[in-house]
Amino acid sequence: MKKAIIFDFDGTLVHSFPLIYRCLNETCIKFLNKSFTEEEILSHYGKDEEGILMSLLNEKYDKDAFIYFLSLYQKYSPIMMPHLISGIYELLIYLKKQKIPLYVLTGRCIETLNISLKLLNIDNIFLKPYYVGNKYKMNKVFNILSLLNDHNYKNSEVIYVGDSLSDIKACNEANIDIISANYDQTIRTIDLSKYNKIVVKSTIELQEIIKNLFNLN
């Protein structure tokens, strides 16, 4: 029986790539006098935003660059990412009222996650600690296993909701079930149904599957 839900953030709860792309690129223009394509920036995904900046700026990186990136993120978030994906807020409120433990586990850094959760008015939805990214390497499997250990869940008692192939691979390695969210098309490049048996194309579908898994009315 399922007892808890783990949510990815980017592409699952929000359309975020245009915002992150702009902030990273403007930072690189300021500190490196160079911009990067979407494909070049996506190739560094897996590390958190500071890690991506470290890779892009290389020897030009210093902490001032990350501070500048965060200032841009704070500035542009209300304009470029003012709300959750349609239907997500209502779903989260519904699940919270059902007293289902909700967690966020993301490749983001804690700084931008905190900014976003507060801006989107969902900073009281997810249980702490938040499980966030690493600036040196992808750490999603480690974080999943840490969450299970921290909260004494069996692998079969949780389900992850994520939007990427890397989410599917991490969940398979951690031996937990995953619902693949295929409704953010801003950076969609593959058909997730080839890799996972549970794929939803809307938040309405997502809610119905969760209701069935948790025997909710």
Distance, CA of 95 to CA of 60 (rounded, Å): 45
- CATH fold of 4-15+83-213, please? Rossmann fold (3.40.50)
pLDDT of residue 188 exceeding 60 = no
79 contacts: CB under 8 Å, gap ≥ 6: none
Cβ-contact 174, 144 below 8 angstroms: yes
Output the pLDDT for position 186.
Answer: 57
Q: What angle do CA 81, 54, 57 make, to 5 degrees?
A: 95
Distance, CA of 85 to CA of 133 (rounded, Å): 22
Query: What's the average model confidence in pLDDT over 53-66?
Result: 96
For the stretch 99-154, pLDDT in tens is 999 999 999 999 999 999 999 999 999 999 999 999 999 899 999 999 999 999 99
Output the pLDDT for position 127.
Answer: 97
What is the percentage of the chain residues whose pLDDT exceeds 70?
97
Output the pLDDT for position 27.
Answer: 98
**Domain extents for the chain?**
4-15+83-213, 17-80
Q: Which two tokens stand for residue 214?
A: 């948790």
Q: How confident is the model at residue 1 (pLDDT cuts 50, 70, 90)?
A: confident
Output the pLDDT for position 184.
Answer: 65
Query: What's the average model confidence in pLDDT over 159-177?
Result: 96
Which pairing describes strands 102-104 and 158-162: parallel, antiparallel, or unpaired?
Answer: unpaired
- Exposure string of 19-38, with b = 16+ CB inside 10 Å and e = fewer, is bbbebbbbbbeebbeeebee
